A and B are shown apart, each in its own frame.
Chain A
Amino acid sequence: MTLRMLATAGLVSAFTLSALAPTVVAQDDLPKLEDLAKDRAVTFVSAGTLFVPGRNGSGPRLVSGEKHWLVYRRGELLGLVEQPEGGMKPGQPAKLLDYRKEHPDSFAMPGIVDADSRWFRAAKDMSDRSADPTAKATDGLETWQKGWKELLVDAGVTTVFVPTSVMAQTTGEGALIGLTTREPSVLADGALSWRLSSPQTSGTNLTRSNVTKGLAAAFSAARKYDEAKEKHAKSVEEFEKKRKEFLAYYKKNPLKKGEEVKTAAPQPTRARRGRLPRTAEELERLLQRVPPAMRDRVRKQMEAQMKAAADAEKAAKAKAAAAAKPAKPDPKAGTAKKAPPKPTRPKPFKRDEKNEALLRVLAGKSALRIEVHRAGEIKALLDLAEEESIERIVIVGATEAWKVAKDLRVAGAQVVLRPEALPTKGFDTLPEQLAASAAKLTAEGVAVAFGSAGRARGRNLPLVAARAVANGMDETDALQALTQGGIEMSGVAPETSVDTGIVVWSGHPLATTSRPIAVVRGRRAQKLSTSEGEGNK
């Protein structure tokens, strides 16, 4: 399988910008068009229709490509610029890709994201119930799997999110994998996945009423862990300070021959288990439990130990009394500073990945991605999120999410919808139900994304979105769910930009008759044709 490069084709070779008349930039936060045109990293793309997904508070935009261009720089879709009067002209460093002449009905937008895929993971790893938060999806990627190119060629899917495991209750970070390169490439680490409850987990401790208990306990443990971590950080800081003082002192006052470094008083050790008898009566009582033949020998040993212990105690008391007395000032020492004791380094802190991930969630740096299905459990989860002040919640599966759509909107939760084949009767999510659910959730203002929960099924994502439109979902919302929705719900930090490339379609991406015709990544445009996907089978 090789992707033919369009960069050498006549379509784009002649286009670079020369002189651009001053123009109105469509978005306030974009640099000026003149500056963009001078940037070699910038690619301008135009097609019959352009779609820019909403991000960081801005809404999605669907505009005619007649007078607009997409601005794409270093893997980031910056936004839209208006075409200057007289059109874009060649000659400047920025690249110009115009599909309007060759494909008047073409449609350009970022690549589709499969928000819950099973690509590049071994089936055994995915069903590993013992996976823990230290297991990361990137540690076990099978990039040599075949057939993934079909997703890009048939359905314009350029990015997939793969979780670490789907059977374990808590797993490590998933990964966003890009499909536009020759080999699959890791674009970003995603959220840690939790699986609190589903009809498949019957019999575990996290079903029904225990669902919030488990999560609440996890967050409580994470907070304690954070306190311990802070305490340890303070003790390390203190140690460093004392160490500096200690080294400074001995640099100034080097040790004389035979002199020893003063060490800090040893920490009181815990009493030994099974203390020695203190009195003769106690000793006799103890000896009653010893066989008569051994009594004399044990008595002698114990008495010796008791004597040694009593002497040591006496010595320690005398030492403590001596230390308590103020030392006589040494007239020779004058104003010399007292030698600081050698500080003891605190034991290294044991890092816990699960708690670290939960702390990232509490800090709002990462999303809490949880598989939950029942409406009651989703509601309980939202209540808990409110108590714990969790900002970003992503619910995966969410069979009954539409029943609590209002609560999801209030909590600002996001939902990844995917087809489910759950064994419990009535809980399997079939595609039409999924599409209807997406329409209901977006109508209520809840952000959704689509996942395939499979491999080849990823090519159906535009079809599922099309059914959602048939069920009443707005087309712009459907495109948002297919693109930026998947990135946001993978759990990456909001400020992180993930390069999903720009896919140019022959028509509207949700129309059955449309096909992806090219994918733009960096300054390169790759032509897509069905034969390319077949070669990868």
Chain B
Amino acid sequence: MRSPIRMTTPGIARRSTMLLSLPLLAFAATVSAQETWTVRAAKAWISPDRAAENVAIEITGGKISTVEDAQAVDDTSAPRLRSFSKGVITAGFIDVHRAPITQDSIGERAESFTPELEASHAYDAWSTRWKRLLRRGVTSAVIAPGSENVAGGQGAFVKPGRPARSSDSASYLKFSLAREAISRNRRPTSMLGALEILRDGYASLEGRPGARLTPAQRSLATTIGGARRVAIAARTRREILASLDLLRTWQLLGCLIHGNDAADCLDALDADKTPIVLTPLGLDAARKERDLPGLLAKRGIPFAFAGESMDEREMPALQTSLALAVRDGLAPEAALAAVTTTPALIAGRSEQVGTLLIGRDADLVVWSGDPWDLRSRVLLVVQDGRIVHDAALTHSMNTKNEVSGR
């Protein structure tokens, strides 16, 4: 039996907080993906290069149906309205390279070449840990195989916490030339060996139109001609150059994962403008790491930050990366693109997520200020038109728990 609420003087204040938050509770509980409702804020980043003041975004059926001047929205006529007088709306962040909840669920250890594996099969949509990502403004992610296999398999584009069908979630094919892919116990034992495995894989497709292909070959075939992107884990200059060479040889649409030494081969990257997925910048990041986003932006090489932390004791990795990059001279617009439009491009979902344009998925985040300002906190997270995190509600629930002593 639940213990009765202990009312003390501060408790009365808490109860009034609870009473005030009742409309919020009712609102959040009743908003469903099919309904029409509006979110209004002082500012919205429609896309990284377009900001608008006093914006009202109408959401219908999980999609953005209208983006208009907030003053045109009548408080009484708006069917359901959430208003944030000082809030800033951005598109939901996209974590374009993240591990599934359990580390060992993707990555075949006995074999190094498994392009036919699908990360969507290892995606556990029902894990409560996805809420931690949502609370940090991440509304989409690509679940990627690890870098231990030369060809790890196909990534899965998912909305964290929501079930995904493997046919709808196909994203890039993950390769790795990084040192993790090299083992003493199985092939390859060197980076050259890893490169040879990938070349052999593509060479086996040559001159075989209409031939019966193995599942691995079928998976590789989908990447030829840029139909599907290839993401290659490459850290050192040697690995990056080898990756770029592979992409050019087989005319693949690619992107690099990690790319720690990218600053040393900017000219090579500049030629094809191959996007890079960078590890988030931490507070202890070295100068070389901190300067890299600025150097890439200067050359017009697209880059994204990926790898949001699920440890709540850690600072939000994507937001911190934006803050550190902006502090070190990167334009805020370029920083915002690194967690919205560029990852959408890498995931092959530019027409679906990454901006607040009409017809896009209603994935948005309301911040208390600009997202690259570390003072800003997430006020509201909407995923496919549903409110998946509401800071006001969370606060009132916490207060309620404190009052009831639970």
Pick out which of these stretches binds chain A: B55-63, B172-180, B245-253, B312-320.
B312-320
Tell me whether A240 is interfacial, beta carbon within 8 Å.
no
Flag if B377 contacts A470 (CB, 8 Å). Answer: yes
The answer to whether A463 and B313 touch (CB under 8 A), given A457-B283, A457-B284, is: no
- Say whether B313 contacts A430, CB under 8 Å: yes
Known contacts being A431-B283, A433-B313, A460-B283, is A513 close to B326, with CB within 8 Å?
A: yes
Task: Write the A503-518 contact mask toward B (1 if CB under 8 angstroms, else 0).
Answer: 0000000111101000
* Interface of chain A residues 266 through 298 with chain B (CB within 8 A): none
What's the Cα separation between A469 and B311 when bound, in Å? Answer: 19
A432 to B284, CA, bound (A): 14
In the bound complex, residues from chain A placing their C-beta under 8 Å from that of B332 are: 513
Known: A457-B284, A512-B327. A432 touches B312 (CB 8 A): yes
Q: Is the CB of A463 within 8 A of B283?
A: yes
Knowing A432-B314, A463-B323, A467-B315 are in contact, say whether A512-B284 is a contact too (CB < 8 A).
Answer: no
Across-interface contacts of B47 in A (CB, < 8 A)? none
Task: Tell whether A470 pairs with B375 under 8 Å between CB atoms, given A457-B283, A457-B284.
Answer: yes
Counting CB contacts under 8 A, is B376 at the interface?
A: yes
Q: Which residue of B lies closest to A508 (CB)?
A: B375
Within 8 A of B (CB), among A405-441: 419, 428-433, 435
Residue among B311, B316, B324, B327 having the largest count of chain A Cβ atoms under 10 Å = B327
Chain B neighbourhood of A430, CB < 8 A? 311, 313-315
With most chain A CB atoms within 10 A of its CB, the pick from B327, B332, B375 is B375
Q: How far is the CB of A443 from chain B (nearest CB, A)?
A: 12
A510 vs B369: C-alpha distance when bound (angstroms) = 12
Mark B311-347 against chain A: 1 for CB-CB distance below 8 A, else 0: 1111110001011101101001000000000000000
Known interface pairs A457-B283, A463-B283, A463-B323. Does A512 touch B312 (Cβ–Cβ under 8 Å)? Answer: no
Contacts of B368 in A (CB 8 A): 470
Q: Do A467 and B314 contact each other (CB < 8 Å), given the known contacts A460-B283, A512-B323, A512-B326? A: no
Any chain B CB within 8 A of the CB of A175?
no
Question: A468-485 interface mask toward B, CB cutoff 8 Å, 1 = contact, 0 = none?
Answer: 011100010000000000
A457-B283, A463-B323 known; A511+B315 contact, CB < 8 A: no
Taken together as a complex, chains A and B put the C-alpha atoms of A464 and B315 apart, in Å, by: 9
- Nearest opposing residue in chain B for A429, CB measure: B313
On whether the beta carbons of A431 and B315 are closer than 8 Å, the reply is yes
B130 at the interface (CB under 8 A from A): no
Q: Which residues of B contact A469 (CB under 8 A)?
A: 374-375
Which residues in B have their C-beta under 8 angstroms from that of A154?
Answer: 327
B326, A432: Cβ atoms under 8 Å? no
Q: How far apart are the CA atoms of A336 and B287 in the complex, in Å?
A: 88
Interface size, chain A (Cβ < 8 Å):
28
CB distance from B309 to the nearest CB of A (A): 9
Is B116 positioned at the interface, with any CB of A under 8 Å from its CB?
no
Known: A457-B283, A457-B284, A460-B283. A512 touches B315 (CB 8 A): no
Tell me how far the C-beta of B214 lies from the nearest C-beta in chain A, rounded to whole angstroms. 46
How far is the CB of A96 from the nearest CB of chain B, in Å? 31
Contact of A510 among B283, B287, B322, B375 (CB under 8 A): B375
Which A-chain residue is minimally distant from B322 (CB atoms)?
A: A512
Complexed CA–CA distance, A430 and B284 (Å): 12
B373 at the interface (CB under 8 A from A): yes
| Nearest opposing residue in chain B for A433, CB measure | B313
Residue of B nearest to A147 (CB): B287
A475 to B376, CA, bound (A): 12
In the complex, A419→B315 CA distance in Å? 12
Contact across chains for A513 and B283 when beta carbons are under 8 A apart: no
A358 CB–B CB distance under 8 Å: no
Given A512-B327, A513-B332, answer yes or no on A432-B313 (Cβ-Cβ < 8 Å).
yes
CB distance from A426 to the nearest CB of B (A): 10
B residues near A470, Cβ cutoff 8 Å: 368, 374-377
How many angstroms between the C-alpha atoms of A90 and B94 in the bound complex?
Answer: 56
Q: Separation in Å of the A175 CB from the closest CB of chain B?
A: 25
Residues of chain A within 8 A of B326, CB atoms compared:
512-513
For the complex, give the distance between the alpha carbons of A468 and B372 in Å.
15
Least CB separation from A460: chain B residue: B283
Bound-state Cα–Cα, A471 to B398, Å: 14
CB A8 to nearest CB in B, in angstroms, measures 28
Contact A512 B374 (CB under 8 A): yes
A412 to B287, CA, bound (A): 40
Q: How far, in Å, is A453 (CB) from chain B's closest CB?
A: 11
Which residue of B283, B311, B322 has the most chain A CB atoms within 10 A of its CB atom? B283
CB distance from A420 to the nearest CB of B (A): 11
In contact, A513 and B374 (Cβ under 8 angstroms): no
Q: Tell me if B315 and A432 are in contact (CB < 8 A).
A: yes
Closest B residue by C-beta to A155: B327
In whole angstroms, how far apart are the Cα atoms of A25 and B320 in the complex?
A: 42
In the complex, what distance in Å separates the CA atom of A467 from the CA atom of B320?
10
Residues on the B chain within 8 Å of A471, using CB: 377
* Assembled-state Cα–Cα distance A85/B117 (Å): 77
> Which residues from chain B contact A435 at a C-beta distance below 8 Å?
315
Contact B313 A466 (CB under 8 A): no
User: Which residues of chain A come closer than 8 Å to B314, judged between CB atoms?
Assistant: 430-432
Tell me, in angstroms, the Cα distance from A470 to B320 when the chains sit together: 12
> What is the bound-complex CA distance between A512 and B322, given in angstroms?
9
**Contact assessment for B374 and A463 in the assembled complex, using a CB-CB cutoff below 8 Å:** yes
Residues of A104-162 contacting chain B, CB below 8 A: 154
A530 contacts across to B, CB distance below 8 A: 329
| Nearest-neighbor residue (CB-CB) of A473 within chain B | B375
How far, in whole Å, are A154 and B329 apart by their CA atoms in the complex? 11
Q: Report the minimal beta-carbon distance from A191 to chain B, rounded to whole angstroms.
A: 27
Q: Is the CB of A466 within 8 A of B315?
A: no
| Chain B residues positioned under 8 Å from A511 (CB to CB) | 373, 375
| Shortest beta-carbon distance from B130 to chain A in Å | 18
The CA-CA distance from A519 to B372 in the complex, in Å, is 26
Contact between chains at A512 and B313 (CB < 8 Å):
no
* Minimum C-beta distance from B316 to chain A (A): 7
B392 CB to closest chain A CB (Å) equals 13
Q: Is the CB of B372 within 8 A of A512?
A: yes
- Chain B residues, Cβ within 8 Å of A512: 322-324, 326-327, 372-374
Contact yes or no, B374 A467, CB < 8 A:
yes
Note all chain A residues with C-beta closer than 8 A to B320: 463
Listed by A's residue number, 29 A-B pairs whose Cβ atoms lie within 8 Å are A419-B283, A429-B313, A430-B311, A430-B314, A431-B314, A432-B316, A457-B283, A463-B323, A463-B324, A463-B327, A463-B374, A464-B283, A466-B374, A467-B374, A467-B375, A470-B377, A510-B374, A510-B375, A511-B373, A511-B375, A512-B322, A512-B323, A512-B324, A512-B374, A513-B327, A513-B373, A515-B327, A530-B329, A537-B287
Residues of A in contact with B (beta carbons under 8 Å apart): 154, 419, 428-433, 435, 454, 456-457, 460, 463-464, 466-467, 469-471, 475, 510-513, 515, 530, 537
Q: A466-B323, A469-B375, A512-B327 are in contact. List 15 more A-B contacts (CB 8 A).
A: A428-B313, A431-B314, A433-B312, A433-B313, A454-B284, A456-B284, A464-B283, A466-B374, A467-B374, A467-B375, A470-B368, A512-B322, A512-B323, A512-B326, A513-B326
